[in-house]
Amino acid sequence: SNVPAITLNNGSVMPQLGFGVWQVPDDEAARAVGTALEAGYRSIDTAAVYENERGTGQGIAASGVPREDLFVTTKLWNSEQGHDSALRAFDASLERLGLDYVDLYLIHWPMPDTGKYVETWKAFEKIHAEGRAKAVGVSNFHPPHLQRLLDETGTVPALNQIELHPHLQQSGPRAFHADHGIATEAWSPLGQGKELLQEPELKALAEKHGKTSAQVVLRWHLQVGNVVIPKSVTPARIRENIDVFDFELDAGDLDTVAGLDSGTRLGPDPDSMHFTG
C-alpha cells in the first residue's frame, strides 16, 4: 500500500496510518482486522483491556500477510503495572495474540498516583532487550511523566500514544516529543466520529477536495506528522479511512484545521485517571 512509514528512535519502521480496535468485541475482531488487512492496513493497535487480542490474532493469522510485513501494538493494563506483573501480563498478551513478538508494547496509562511506571518501564526494557517487543513506548504520558523516565531510566520511549484530534491538538506535548525523539501517535484521531466531523470548516474542506470530513482530519494528522489509528467496524469506512493518499491540504487548509483547537478532551486526563478495573 502507499501508507508512508516513520522510523522510530530504536530504528523500527512503523506505518504512519494503522487500524485501532478499541470497543471491537473479540468475536468481531478477526473479521474487522481481516477487512483492514485486505484494504491495505499493515499496523494494528490493540490492548489487553480491549479483550480482543485473541480475535485480533486470529484475524492476523487468517489473513496470510507475512508477519514481518505487519506492525502489531498492544498495551499493558493499569492493574498489571509493576516489574514482575508486567512481565507476566506481556506473556499473556503474546499468548492471546498467538505471536512470538509484538512490534510495539505500550504502558497504557501512567497512573502517577500508584507510582509504578518507572519500575514497569524497567520490565519493558527487559522485554525489549529480549526482542519480544521490537519497540517499547507509552500512552497517555504527560511531559513530566516522560521526563521522569528520561531522568531515571536508560531507554527513551519510542512513541507516546495520546488523545489527539483537531479539537485537542496537544501542541505542548508534541513539541516535547519532537525535542526528545519520541513519535506522537494520535488516539481517537477522528474525535470518535462525534461532533468533530460535523464542524462546518471540515465539511467545507471535504467539499473542496472531494473527500469526507474524516479523510480531511486523517490527512491533517499525516501532514503534521502524527501517527494515526482510526477505528471502524464498517467495511466501507475502514476502506475510506486509508484512502487519504490522493489529495493534499494546502497551507491555508492546515491553518483552518489549526483554528479548531479548543482543548476539549473526550477521555480522562491522565493525571486523574485512577481506573484499574
Applying CB under 6 A, does 229 fall inside the site for ligand NAD? Answer: yes
Residue selected from 111, 135, 136, 197 as contacting ligand NAD according to rule CB under 6 A: 197
Interface segment toward ligand NAD; rule CB under 6 A; list 5-13, 61-69, 76-84, 232-240: 232-240
Residue selected from 103, 199, 240, 253 as contacting ligand NAD according to rule CB under 6 A: 240
Tell the smallest beta-carbon distance from residue 75 to ligand NAD (Å). Answer: 6
Cα–Cα dist 267/49, whole Å: 15
Tell the smallest beta-carbon distance from residue 201 to ligand NAD (Å). Answer: 16
Cα–Cα dist 124/156, whole Å: 11
Cα–Cα dist 185/164, whole Å: 8
Applying CB under 6 A, does 192 fall inside the site for ligand NAD? Answer: yes
Applying CB under 6 A, does 257 fall inside the site for ligand NAD? Answer: no
Helices 117-129, 143-152: axis angle to 10 degrees equals 60
C-alpha cell recorded at residue 110: 501512567
C-alpha cell recorded at residue 264: 476539549
Cα–Cα dist 216/109, whole Å: 29
C-alpha cell recorded at residue 89: 501480563
Applying CB under 6 A, does 199 fall inside the site for ligand NAD? Answer: no
The smaller minimum CB distance to ligand NAD, of residues 128 and 137, is found at 137
Which of 50, 101, 105, 117 is an active site residue?
50
Which residue, among 140, 265, 255, 61, has the nearest Cα to 44 in the 3D structure? 61
Interface segment toward ligand NAD; rule CB under 6 A; list 14-22, 60-68, 91-99, 173-181: 14-22
Q: Is 117 a catalytic residue?
A: no
Q: Which amino acid is at 69?
A: D
Task: Please give the residues from 145 up to 164 whose contact with ligand NAD meets the rule CB under 6 A.
Answer: 161
Contacts of 195 (CB under 8 A, 6+ apart): 167
Provide the annotated active-site residues.
50
Note the residues at the interface with ligand NAD (CB under 6 A). Answer: 20-22, 45, 108, 139-140, 161, 187-193, 197, 212, 214, 229-232, 237, 240-241, 267
